[in-house]
Structure 1
């Protein structure tokens, strides 16, 4: 048996379907399709085929405002070897029954289903994730855990597990595609594609965030501290409990926070909770009071004051500002008519 066959290569031409959801990450989409195009171009053969789809078959707005034409709607989507769902800034708002049924049917009929960026929300709603480990963009992890508190989220670029896959998005999408190209058509071609895109491939297990990354196997105290705080957003731990769980003294904790962050432990904890709340407001449509509680604020009024002091606007105003922008770009013709009516 050849190496490609052992890695799951197909004798026929593998077919990819990219399912675009509103606010999908354009960078991940471009890197994925460019990787396949370059593989075909450099090989001199039509090795890969792909199709673009949306739920309705109409153009889809990307996260940067560009609109991408597609080839198919869900009802006419052909069978494919890889169904790649690109989700972004609206991970819970567009998971229709038809979309979830499409994901389930594709998986049932042998397709490998891959959720990109926040695509894990839809895969979980479709009942595909079960108790598996998964990957999601790090900013959306707190929102995901609000919906699926028992989830095992891995801090890595991507994860492929039999017929299911997850990718954090961004340039991690290119690493995933290079992995697939290597499995299907050989490592040499994957290296050619990487070189063409001026990219050094990274392992799937590489951590998503580079700030404060450790060169040693043992995570730094700063990383362990922030991770501990992020695991306990709803019921914040006091300095004594933080120190106990980190196996250090309270005095060591205070000195470390002052030296590394210029904050007391409580001030740092507040920043971590406010950033988590900001991400929830961005990705979620839940009530402000529920987001406040999820981030450890007993009273919405306290949350609002702290959020406004940090970000310069109230939680409600923050959410409304980018929802207004999204609405104008999703339906520009409606926004134009509305503006004209206001002038008249």
Structure 2
């Protein structure tokens, strides 16, 4: 798959949590799935900007040096009216937005509408600005939906809707299995997870109830993977129905999904612990270190890497 290049445009007094909800799931896809995802941080005035909570962020480059990326994330801030009125900013942004997917989050849709990108299109914005946005941009059909996709232009309001939006984007670009893995990092029910040891019980917002239950069961048994017949029995279904469920909702077989979860765990242990490859293999359901190495190489196209100083 070709690299996914991302431009992240931050406005003054942007929301940290909106930025995190958009970027962190993509980071999970990059780190866990081995996808080639690269991003560049830009700001509306080429100078450091300060978030609404006081965190200062410096740009990686200047607007005039950048070309259109595959994906542009516009994270609007509290000064959106002033920024939208700056003609120089509008001139600098147009070349960046001439192609690729453009996502406007929080107040980002206001800037997109000012540039005329939403004329004749559906869009949404943060709920506090809904009425003002509707009155200011009559050529845009403003929707109360959690997020809106109209062609290559996507819009959303709050942080929660930003997470929904980017998971939908990941599903379309990398597949449902990648989106589910990213969701598992951010949608956790701590009480249930503590009782079961699973990091997947909070996936109430992703997939069917049976898929979430089966994924949680897989997560609980990575060290000793269950036969697919036993896994199917857990959900009172046949192996054939089990395979159909995973193909329909994730686009992969149950075995492929199970193995991907085990390899993700192996990758995490190899990065953050000093366990040997043999120990990691046993904890992730592989009979030997060589078996883990072969599976990892096939999945990621590169050898599993151990933390510096860990045993072979």
* TM-score, normalised with respect to structure 2: 0.57
1:42 aligned onto 2:32:
yes
Is residue 77 of structure 2 the alignment partner of residue 94 of structure 1?
no
Matched residues in 2 for 1:77 and 1:166: separation? 22
Q: Tell me the equivalent position of 1:52.
A: 41
Gap change, CA 1:57 and 1:156, over 3 Å in 2: same
Shift in Å, 1:90: 2.0
Cα pair 2:170 2:176 within 8 Å, conserved: yes
- Within-5 A mapping of 1:75-154: 75-95=64-84, 96-108=86-98, 110-149=99-138, 151-154=140-143
Alignment of 1:302-317 (within 5 A): none
CA distance in 2 between partners of 1:178 and 1:98 (Å): 33
- Distance across 2 between alignment mates of 1:201 and 1:99: 41
* Alignment of 1:170 onto 2:149: no
> Where does the alignment leave 5 or more consecutive residues of structure 2 unmatched?
189-202, 207-312
Higher relative contact order (CA 8 A, sep 6+): 1
The answer to whether 1:73 aligns with 2:62 is: yes
Backbone CA RMSD of aligned residues:
1.9
**In the alignment, which residue of structure 1 is the partner of 2:196?**
none
Q: Map 1:312-331 onto structure 2 (within 5 A).
A: none
Whole-angstrom distance in 1 between the partners of 2:107 and 2:163: 16
Shift >6 Å, 4+ stretches = none
**In 1: Cα distance, 2:43 partner to 2:110 partner:** 17
Residue 222 of structure 1 aligns with which residue? Answer: none
Map 1:163-242 to 2 at 5 A.
Answer: 163-198=152-187, 200=203, 202=205
TM superposition shift of 1:37: 1.3
C-alpha displacement of 1:15: 1.0
SS of 1:92's equivalent?
A: helix
Q: Name the CA distance, whole Å, in 1 between partners of 2:3 and 2:183.
A: 21
Name the structure 2 match of 1:26.
Answer: 16
Does the CA-based 8 Å contact 1:22-1:60 persist in structure 2? yes
Conserved 8 A contact 2:41-2:59: yes
What is the aligned residue count?
191
Q: CA contact under 8 A between 1:55 and 1:73: conserved in structure 2?
A: no
Q: Is the 8 A contact 2:11 2:49 kept in 1?
A: yes
Contact 1:27/1:171 (CA < 8 Å) preserved in 2?
no
Shift of 1:150: 5.4
Secondary structure of 2:53 counterpart: coil
Q: Once the 2 structures are TM-superposed, how far is the Cα of residue 124 of structure 1 from its aligned partner?
A: 1.3
> For residues 231-287 of structure 1, what are the alpha-carbon distances to aligned partners after superposition, in whole Å with 9 as ceiling and x for unaligned?
xxxxxxxxxxxxxxxxxxxxxxxxxxxxxxxxxxxxxxxxxxxxxxxxxxxxxxxxx
**Distance in 1 between the 2:93 and 2:46 partners?**
16
The Cα shift of 1:121 comes to: 1.4
Contact 2:41 2:60 in 1 (8 A): yes
1:17–1:160 CA distance, 2 compared to 1 (3 A):
same
- Residues 78 and 107 (structure 1), Cα distance of their counterparts in 2 relative to 1, 3 Å cut: closer
